[in-house]
């Protein structure tokens, strides 16, 4: 059986951004600081790390660090920390 190709770094970053937009109400800005390819228990993933800025018109902005693990084969989210 042929090996499956992995998604690109940009596709992993896009998957992480969409995931955060759905999870964090009031998301204003995302700053991706690092994306690296890793292996966790035999699963190849992209570790996407950065800062999410959350806030609104009346509230001050809050910066929250995040780390999202995106499966390199299909782009599924396999883990996250915010």
C-beta atoms surrounding 74 within 10 Å: 11
Architecture of the CATH domain 9-81: Roll (3.10)
Q: Residue 76: what pLDDT? A: 95
What are 28-61's pLDDT values in tens digits? 889 999 999 998 888 899 999 999 998 866 668 8
Phi, psi (degrees; rounded to nearest 5) at 54: -120, 140
Q: Within 10 A of 12 (CB to CB), how many other CB atoms are there?
A: 25
Q: Give the confidence band of 1 by pLDDT, cuts at 50, 70, 90.
A: very low
Q: Where are the alpha helices (DSSP H) in 1-82?
A: 9-23
């Amino acid at each position: 059986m042929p090996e499956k190709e992995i998604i690109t770094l940009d596709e992993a970053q896009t998957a992480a951004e969409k995931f955060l937009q759905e999870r964090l109400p009031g998301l204003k800005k995302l700053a991706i600081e690092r994306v690296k390819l890793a292996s966790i228990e035999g699963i190849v993933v992209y570790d996407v790390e950065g800062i999410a800025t959350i806030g609104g018109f009346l509230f001050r902005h809050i910066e929250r660090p995040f780390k999202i693990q995106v499966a390199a084969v299909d782009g599924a989210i396999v883990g996250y920390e915010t």
